[in-house]
């Protein structure tokens, strides 16, 4: 009997847990080819011969390649508890097609392998697996196991597979993992399901005597597992005598240092740090056991790992999503199994985004103006009295360059004293203003990675963002900290303001910004930031240009919000692009009513002001608030979001003569973040008559790609399919078009051919580096052009950066200017070919009787019918089919076959931008209406 049988947890297992039984082949089961089943005998950790059941596609591989079964390599797949090798059934055939052998084992006492009559520990299981592969290596072809080997593990099979990986570096070529863990953080509780299973009096009944643990696991599918699949997982565990391994696995979870498996778990966890092979971690964030903190630990131990979080997937990720295609794509991307061998994980991961050393410009860091103006008493930023302000008399908060510089340095030193280290993620739940600016620049200065997710994402979106990034620290005001506490967001809490002791305890707050300032003020800031001393000297070094600086979340208007990763160099390039395009710099007065640009004022050296508005509700901005903000900094540049701009224009009648005079001094006006109607730009021009009005085109992944002035927009004549003119590329930006095929897919090679509609592909020095923990999404967003794909790894000419697929569709006109025709996801696929939505919408909105319109497709892709949903100029209260006259007028304006015209009181907008119509939701609604559904509002 093994040593594990004497431990207290084992004593809670019933006698049935140690009943020996031979290995066997499984019966006919859903999706499982009987030809894959094999029984193999090998000695176990104690030298006793044991028979394993495994799934092996070696014969299939040999039959398909006709050369005796030579494989590119072997994927060694290890299941967890209480699953078995059936978990990997979907991998075997596609892997064989790709030239990979798969050996998926049933661990001893699990699945259809031998029941040993012992309770096996982790060191025994790791050793068992190694001895099995030794035996397989001695077999004859095609069953002989040869390298290279890529391990694949899930749940506790992840730990066992990693133990094998640590022990077999000569054979190891890569590591694949689904939800698993190799370390229990000291500051985190053991997941509740495991605590319950391990409880005294519960372990045996839940895992062995009854199938409770098994059934609970099978209930974790998203969506629910089909009955046939559940029955297949139950097949090896029908009786208590066959479930002994299930209970033993749970009992073997080492929760204390003296546990018999604790030392082995520690060995594997530390050994993983030494692995230099590529790795891919696919993760289901809905897992109630292996939460995102375990993913963060794995990423820390495998710093070169590629990670993809599958939103909506959980513990049974292999059942919830297609995990096979990502594995095969990753094997190819990293050259695993190729004759020349695999590239190192770090080199390959960054090859697509790195620029040749000789072509990378040296840009000053974002904080260089703060370092240069340490004695400047003039204003750096002004925060107009926000709602709920606690400032004296509710007046503006004015921060000089001298104060801001010192405060950033004090906060930076205080953060380091508090435990923040380079690479640590810091989530900032602070609205735009002086506090956010100071703490953001302090984090950047010490090499911490700032995580910024807009409150407009809502509670669910923010929770997904914060948990997904796993910050070590959270800085917030009371509302953000309250949400963090209530929703279990990770990270040590730092409050922007001093809280009463009881409130601090309730919110789990460890410090406030004033505490950090006090810590930082106690050091010699000159010596601390001189950047010339050796490590360990107390000097805070500057981060490298290619170090990650920030994770900025997208709006979530086209799916779950994505974390966009920027390096310090890329952020500096954003600053430089704005400065060059709009002549913004020292002595510029900047009104920033658009959050991303409110934070760039100090980086540009400009005096910046945040207007009096609720940043989570842009329509709260008034014309008088814009004028008051402009007066405070003698503004020459104003940047507002379209929603904020619309309300400012709507309240323009409230302006006084002196306020109009202030706005007349503005020389440049910008609005971006969503499409801006020419009429709205023209109305804003009336407010700022001496300003040049511009609407930049960009996205979170690249904040400035093209620019169009109001004059260009007003005189432009739509050509071909129409669209919104967004202008010519700005300096250092390249724009290409990937033409649409007949199915509406962007399959054409990116090119600058004029008049061709397709997906917009861009490249620039200030593009994102990648998406955070979304490896598949990042791969899908990268394209190559024929001119550079062979030599530059997807870089634009001149090494400007990767080519990024924007998801927008449009075309270049004869002058090389970009016109946007909609989103790729909203392209209609009719029998006559693809139709982009913006052109038809513009033609209908030009009618006096229509206020707004949306063009959507109903029916199967390839034969979709065009439907126009219109919001009439004269307000209506009900949904209806358009009257014959309006329907004829709309059809004539569109110039294409229109199946139906629907009238609604108001078009629905997406969750983030009041000016963006949610065409996907509207299409589903229209299809329901036309199928006979009730005339309810969309």
> Is residue 831 domain-shared with residue 820, that is, in the same domain?
no
CA 345 to chain CA centroid, Å, is: 20
Structure confidence at residue 616 (pLDDT)? 67
Would you state the pLDDT for residue 4? 35
Q: Among 625-629, 646-650, 684-688, 933-937, whose mean pLDDT is lowest?
A: 933-937
Boundary (domain end) residue, out of 566, 588, 621: 566
The answer to whether the CB of 129 falls within 8 A of the CB of 68 is: no
Q: List the domain range (segments joined by +) for residue 865.
A: 827-930
Residues 284 and 426 in one domain: no
Q: Residues 97, 156: one domain?
A: yes
pLDDT recorded at residue 349: 41
On whether both 378 and 493 belong to a single domain, the answer is yes
Q: pLDDT tier at 9 (50, 70, 90 boundaries)?
A: low
pLDDT at residue number 522: 87
56 located within any domain: yes
**CB count in 10 Å sphere of residue 219:** 11
Verify that 216 and 317 share a domain, yes or no. yes
- Is 157 inside any structural domain? yes
pLDDT (0 to 100) of residue 555: 76
Distances (CA, A) of 421 to 440, 473, 526, 586: 15, 11, 20, 31
Check pLDDT > 70 for residue 745.
yes
Query: Does 672 map to a domain?
Result: no
Q: How far apart are CA 251 and CA 78, in angstroms?
A: 19
Q: How far apart are CA 77 and CA 91, in angstroms?
A: 10
Q: How confident is the model at residue 913 (pLDDT cuts 50, 70, 90)?
A: very low
CA distances from 349 to 277, 334, 337, 344, 528 (A): 12, 9, 17, 8, 34
- Which residue reads 């407009």 in tokens? 456
pLDDT, mean of residues 376-380: 96
CATH at residue 740: 2.30.38.10
**HSE-up of 769 (CA within 13 Å, CB side)?**
22
CATH number at residue 848: 3.30.300.30
User: Are residues 739 and 849 both part of a single domain?
Assistant: no
Q: Which residue in 14, 44, 3 sits closest to 247, CA to CA?
A: 14
- Reported as a pLDDT band with limits 50, 70 and 90, residue 570 is very high
Residue 598 included in any domain: no
Rounded to whole angstroms, the Cα distance separating 912 from 599 reads 20
CA-wise closest residue to 456 among 914, 39, 834: 914
Q: Are residues 340 and 380 in the same domain?
A: no
Q: Is residue 897 part of a domain?
A: yes
Degrees, nearest 5: CA angle 704-707-713: 150
**In whole angstroms, what separates CA 855 from the centre of its chain?**
29
Q: In this structure, what CATH number is given to the domain that contains residue 461?
A: 3.40.50.980
The pLDDT assigned to 353 comes to: 42
Across the range 482-498, mean pLDDT stands at 92
> What is the C-alpha to C-alpha distance for residues 205 and 90, in angstroms, rounded to an integer?
32
Whether residue 616 is contained in a domain is answered as no
pLDDT digits (tens, 9 = 90+) for 650-706: 999 999 999 999 999 999 999 987 778 788 889 999 999 999 999 999 999 998 999
* Distance from C-alpha of 285 to C-alpha of 295, rounded to nearest angstrom: 9
Last residue of a domain, one of 768, 792, 825: 825
| Mean local confidence (pLDDT), 254-276 | 93
Please give the angle made by the CA atoms of 267, 272 and 276, to the nearest 5 degrees. 145
Report the domain count for the chain: 4
Residue 614 domain-assigned? no
Q: Tell me, yes or no, whether 534 and 417 share the same domain.
A: yes
User: Which pair of structure tokens corresponds to residue 526?
Assistant: 């000159």
pLDDT of res. 904: 94
- Do both 122 and 223 map to the same domain? yes
Mean pLDDT across 471-482: 94
Segment 806-814 shows an average pLDDT of 95
Same domain, 811 and 842: no
Give tens-digit pLDDT for 40-58.
999 999 999 999 999 999 9
More confident residue, 340 or 254: 254
Q: Kindly tell me if the per-residue pLDDT of 844 is higher than 60.
A: yes
Same domain, 832 and 791: no
State the pLDDT confidence band at 340, using cuts at 50, 70 and 90.
low
75 with 47: CB under 8 angstroms?
no
pLDDT of residue 717: 84
Whole-angstrom Cα distance, residue 926 to residue 338? 50
Which of these ranges, 106-110, 123-127, 358-362, 771-775, has the smallest mean pLDDT?
A: 358-362
- Say how far apart CA 937 and CA 798 lie, in whole Å: 51
Q: What share of the chain is helix, strand, coil (3-state, %, to 5)?
A: 40, 20, 40
End of a domain among 317, 347, 377?
347
Q: Which residue matches tokens 């599958």?
A: 310
Say yes or no: 328 and 424 in one domain: no
Q: Say which CATH number the domain at 115 has.
A: 3.40.50.1820
Q: How confident is the model at residue 186 (pLDDT cuts 50, 70, 90)?
A: low
In a domain? residue 560:
yes
pTM over 0.75: yes
């Amino acid at each position: 009997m093994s040593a594990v049988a004497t431990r207290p947890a084992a004593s809670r297992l019933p006698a049935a847990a140690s009943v020996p039984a031979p290995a066997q082949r499984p019966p006919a089961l859903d999706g499982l080819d009987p030809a894959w089943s094999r029984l193999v005998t090998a000695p176990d950790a104690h030298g006793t011969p044991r028979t394993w059941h495994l799934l092996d596609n070696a014969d299939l591989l040999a039959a398909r390649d006709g050369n005796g079964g030579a494989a590119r390599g072997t994927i060694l797949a290890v299941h967890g508890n209480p699953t078995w090798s059936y978990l990997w059934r979907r991998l075997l055939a596609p892997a064989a097609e790709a030239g990979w052998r798969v050996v998926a084992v049933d661990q001893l006492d699990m699945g259809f392998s031998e029941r040993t009559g012992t309770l096996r520990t982790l060191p025994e299981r790791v050793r068992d697996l190694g001895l099995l592969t030794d035996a397989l290596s001695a077999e004859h072809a095609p069953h002989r196991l040869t390298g290279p080997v890529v391990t694949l593990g899930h749940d506790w099979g992840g730990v066992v597979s990693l133990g094998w990986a640590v022990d077999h570096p000569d054979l190891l070529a890569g590591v694949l993992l689904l939800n698993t863990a190799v370390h229990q953080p000291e500051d985190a509780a053991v997941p509740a399901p495991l605590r319950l299973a391990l409880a005294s009096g519960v372990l045996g009944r839940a895992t062995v005597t009854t199938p409770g643990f098994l059934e609970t696991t099978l209930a974790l599918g998203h969506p629910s597992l089909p009955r046939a699949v559940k029955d297949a997982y139950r097949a090896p565990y029908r009786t208590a005598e066959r479930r002994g391994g299930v209970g033993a696995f749970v009992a073997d979870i080492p929760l204390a240092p003296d546990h018999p498996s604790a030392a082995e778990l520690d060995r594997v966890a530390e050994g993983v740090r030494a692995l230099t092979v590529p790795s891919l971690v696919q993760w289901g964030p809905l897992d109630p056991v292996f939460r995102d903190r375990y993913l963060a630990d794995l990423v820390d131990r495998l710093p070169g790992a590629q990670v993809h979080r599958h939103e909506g997937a959980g513990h049974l990720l292999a059942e919830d999503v297609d995990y096979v295609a990502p594995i095969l794509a990753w094997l190819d991307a990293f050259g695993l199994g190729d004759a020349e061998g695999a590239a190192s994980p770090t080199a390959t991961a960054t090859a697509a985004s790195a620029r040749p050393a000789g072509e990378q410009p040296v840009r000053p860091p974002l904080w260089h103006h703060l370092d240069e103006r340490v004695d400047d008493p003039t204003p750096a930023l002004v925060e107009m009295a926000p709602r709920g302000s606690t400032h004296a008399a509710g007046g503006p908060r004015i921060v000089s360059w001298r104060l801001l510089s010192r405060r950033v340095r004090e906060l930076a030193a205080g953060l380091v004293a508090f435990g923040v280290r380079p690479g640590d993620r810091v989530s900032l739940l602070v609205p735009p203003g002086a506090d956010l600016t100071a703490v953001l620049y302090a984090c950047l200065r010490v090499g911490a990675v700032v995580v910024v997710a807009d409150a407009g994402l809502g509670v669910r979106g923010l929770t997904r963002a914060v948990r997904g990034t796993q910050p070590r620290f959270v800085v917030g005001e009371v509302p953000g900290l309250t949400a963090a506490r209530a929703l279990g967001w990770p990270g040590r809490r730092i409050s922007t303001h001093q809280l009463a002791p009881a409130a601090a305890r309730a919110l789990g707050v460890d410090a406030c910004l004033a505490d950090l300032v006090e810590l930082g003020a106690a050091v010699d800031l000159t010596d601390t930031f001189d950047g010339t001393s050796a490590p360990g000297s107390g000097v805070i070094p500057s981060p490298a240009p290619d170090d990650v600086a920030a994770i900025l979340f997208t709006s979530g208007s086209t799916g779950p919000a994505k974390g966009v990763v920027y390096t310090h160099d890329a952020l500096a390039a954003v600053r430089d692009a704005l400065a060059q395009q709009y002549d913004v710099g020292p002595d510029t007065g900047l009104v920033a009513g658009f959050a991303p640009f409110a934070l760039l004022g100090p980086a540009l050296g400009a005096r910046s002001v945040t207007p009096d508005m609720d940043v989570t509700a842009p329509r709260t901005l008034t014309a008088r608030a814009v004028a008051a903000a402009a007066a405070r900094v003698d503004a020459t540049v104003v940047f507002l979001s379209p929603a904020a701009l619309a309300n400012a224009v709507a309240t323009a009648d409230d302006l006084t003569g002196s306020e109009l005079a202030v706005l007349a001094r503005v020389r440049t006006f910008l609005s971006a973040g969503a499409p801006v109607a020419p009429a709205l730009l023209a109305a804003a021009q009336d407010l700022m008559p001496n300003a040049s009005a511009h609407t930049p085109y960009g996205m979170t992944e690249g904040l400035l790609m093209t620019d169009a002035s109001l004059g260009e927009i007003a005189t432009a004549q739509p050509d071909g399919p129409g669209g919104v003119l967004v202008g010519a590329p700005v300096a250092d930006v390249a724009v290409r078009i990937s033409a649409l095929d007949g199915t509406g897919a962007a399959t054409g090679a990116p090119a600058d051919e004029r008049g061709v509609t397709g997906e917009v592909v861009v490249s620039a020095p200030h593009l994102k580096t990648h998406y955070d923990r979304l490896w598949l999404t990042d791969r899908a967003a990268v394209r190559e052009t024929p001119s550079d794909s062979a030599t530059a790894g997807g870089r634009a000419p001149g090494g400007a950066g990767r080519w990024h697929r924007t998801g927008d569709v449009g075309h270049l006109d004869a002058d090389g200017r970009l016109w946007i025709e909609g989103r790729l996801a909203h392209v209609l696929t009719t029998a006559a070919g693809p139709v982009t939505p913006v052109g038809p919408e513009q033609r209908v909105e030009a009618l006096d009787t229509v206020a707004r319109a949306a063009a959507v497709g109903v029916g199967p892709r390839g034969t979709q019918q065009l439907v126009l949903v219109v919001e009439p100029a004269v307000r209506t209260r009900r949904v209806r089919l358009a009257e014959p006259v309006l329907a004829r007028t709309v059809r004539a304006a569109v110039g294409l076959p229109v199946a139906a015209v629907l009238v609604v009181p108001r078009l629905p907008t997406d969750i983030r931008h009041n000016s963006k119509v949610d065409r996907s939701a509207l299409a589903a609604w229209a299809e329901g209406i036309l199928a006979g559904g009730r005339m309810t509002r969309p």
